[in-house]
Amino acid sequence: MSFESLGLSHNIIKSVKKLGFLKPFPIQEQTIPVILAGKDLMGIAQTGSGKTACFVMPILEKLQNEEVKKDRNIQILVLAPTRELVIQIDEVFRAFTENLKREIRTMAVYGGVSINPQMKGMFGVEILVATPGRLLDLIEHKALSISQITNLVIDEADKMFQLGFEEEMNKLFAMMPSKKQTVLFSATLNDKVEEIKKRLTINPVLVEIKAEEVDLDKITQLAYHVTEERKGPFLRYLIKEKNIKQALVFTSSTRSADNLAEKLKKNKIPATAVHGKKSQGSRTGNLRDFKEGETQILVATDLIGRGIHIDSLEYVINYELPRSPLDYVHRIGRTGRALESGTAITILTDDELQHFRVIQKKMGKRVELIRTEDINLHGF
């Protein structure tokens, strides 16, 4: 299926192609036509499945054909639980606005920064992406109104009533019109999501994309024990010793990803980093270069890594461990795909050994720990 077949106009398709998207993800195929038809929707899909574009593209598709409204009445409201996710969603909206029939103003608002610039910049905003707390602050300061919204999107709806947001969400729901299109996205369909549906008195179309099962038997897992100061040199040694043509390397933070990619490049190993703090265009371009074999090492965080789908990726390397065993399985599941085998390598320091034991227990597989103190890393 193509993006054209989903009912999107040339303006949106032009941005899709520029951003390097080749074909829709399964969740996009099933949800975009529903949203374009103006129906309420509940989309269930794991993180990294392309769900942000599911609502960004149809919202912009419809909005570009409407007249500009210059006031403080928001038309499109997107709610998300964290500052990082709000910024990321706003970046995706901006990435798709370049080729539209007219300019559409979007804005991201969240706490932890001064409210004054957000208040001043609110006039003429058509799409607002917000955390609930800061949105309430802005409403109390009379910086905007949500009484006339036509579209409500709640991202990570499964978390919105689990992280102390319930009171804030109820206040916001009371300010919204009863007649609007409501789109909910969630990683799971649980009781809290059912509460939201009842509170909003909606009966949405349900689209659920099952999480991909990872066949651990197709993945060879190796674990190496190193000291902290030998970790970087040992990674470079592995890449050269095993003649690794391409590998996806995971870190636990954006800072680590950037630092590691720079260190690899300084040692003449072509590498680039992708994470949530890079622009959508940058992430898409870097990923495209990696898929096409122009980049040897792609360093990624878990937020981005779940959305990376490459049929023939031989190596995944855990430079730093994820927080949860499930994230570990998602990481190594990027290899061993499409009926092919793969290798997952984990580099561990003393501080990470106990957590790795927990990961092994949860996934039901033991990984032999290989000592490395006798390996000469001089020159790496």
More confident residue, 350 or 188: 350
Residue 18 confidence (pLDDT): 78
State the alpha helices, DSSP H only, in 97-165.
Answer: 116-120, 132-140, 157-160
Q: Are 279 and 289 in contact (CB under 8 A)?
A: no
User: pTM (2 decimals)?
Assistant: 0.66
Give the position of tokens 């989309």.
43
Token pair for 46: 């794991």
Confidence band for 2, pLDDT divided at 50, 70 and 90: confident
Assigned CATH class of 4-208? alpha beta
Using alpha carbons, select from 211, 189, 190 the residue that is nearest to residue 49.
211
Q: What are 91-126's pLDDT values in tens digits?
A: 889 988 888 888 999 999 998 899 999 999 999 999
Q: 216-371 — its CATH code? A: 3.40.50.300
Q: Are 57 and 27 in contact (CB under 8 A)?
A: no
Residue 303 confidence (pLDDT): 64
Asked if the domains at 4-208 and 216-371 fall in one CATH topology, the answer is yes
Q: What is the widest separation between alpha-carbon atoms in the chain?
A: 70
Q: What is the C-alpha to C-alpha distance for residues 1 and 360, in angstroms, rounded to an integer?
A: 39
Q: What is the C-alpha to C-alpha distance for residues 304 and 291, in angstroms, rounded to an integer?
A: 14
Measured in degrees and rounded to the nearest 5, phi and psi for residue 325 equal -60, -35
Environment class of 151 (CB within 10 Å of its CB; exposed 0-12, middle 13-18, buried 19+): buried
Domain ranges of the chain: 4-208, 216-371
Q: What are 252-275's pLDDT values in tens digits?
A: 888 999 999 999 999 999 999 987
User: Is 339 a residue whose pLDDT tops 70?
Assistant: no
What beta strand segments (E) does the chain contain?
41-44, 76-79, 106-109, 127-130, 151-154, 181-186, 205-208, 219-225, 247-250, 271-274, 297-300, 315-318, 342-348, 369-371
